[in-house]
Copies of this chain bind each other. A is one copy, B any other.
Amino acid sequence: MGDQQPIVDLKSCAECPIRHKAVCARCEPHELADLERMKSYRSYRPGEAIVWAGDDMEFVASVVTGVATLSQTMEDGRTQMVGLLLPSDFIGRPGREKAKYDVTAVSDVTLCCFRKRPFEGLIASTPAVSQRLLEMALDELDAAREWMLLLGRKTAREKIASLIAIIARRSEAVKSPEARDTALEVDLPLTRETMADYLGLTLETVSRQISGLKRDGVIQLNGKRHVIIPDLDALLAETGDDSDGGFLS
A: residues with CB less than 8 A from B are 1-2, 4, 53-54, 70, 72, 74-76, 78-80, 82-83, 93-101, 120, 123-124, 127, 130-131, 133-135, 137-138, 140-142, 144-149, 151-153, 199-200, 240-242, 248-249
Given contacts A82-B149, A200-B152, contact A131 B123 (CB under 8 A): yes
Given contacts A54-B248, A145-B144, contact A242 B75 (CB under 8 A): yes
Interface of A is mostly: mixed
Q: When the two chains form their complex, are residues A138 and B138 in contact, meaning their CB atoms are under 8 A apart? A: no
CB neighbours of A138 from chain B (8 A): 93, 137
Contact of A134 among B4, B137, B145, B248 (CB under 8 A): B137
CB neighbours of A76 from chain B (8 A): 240
CB neighbours of A78 from chain B (8 A): 153, 240
The 4 closest A-B pairs by CB, nearest first: A152-B200, A127-B127, A151-B151, A144-B144
Task: Known A-B contacts: A134-B134, A141-B141. Give 19 more (CB < 8 A).
Answer: A1-B94, A1-B123, A1-B124, A54-B248, A72-B149, A74-B241, A74-B242, A80-B148, A80-B153, A82-B145, A93-B138, A96-B249, A97-B249, A101-B145, A127-B130, A137-B138, A151-B151, A151-B152, A153-B200
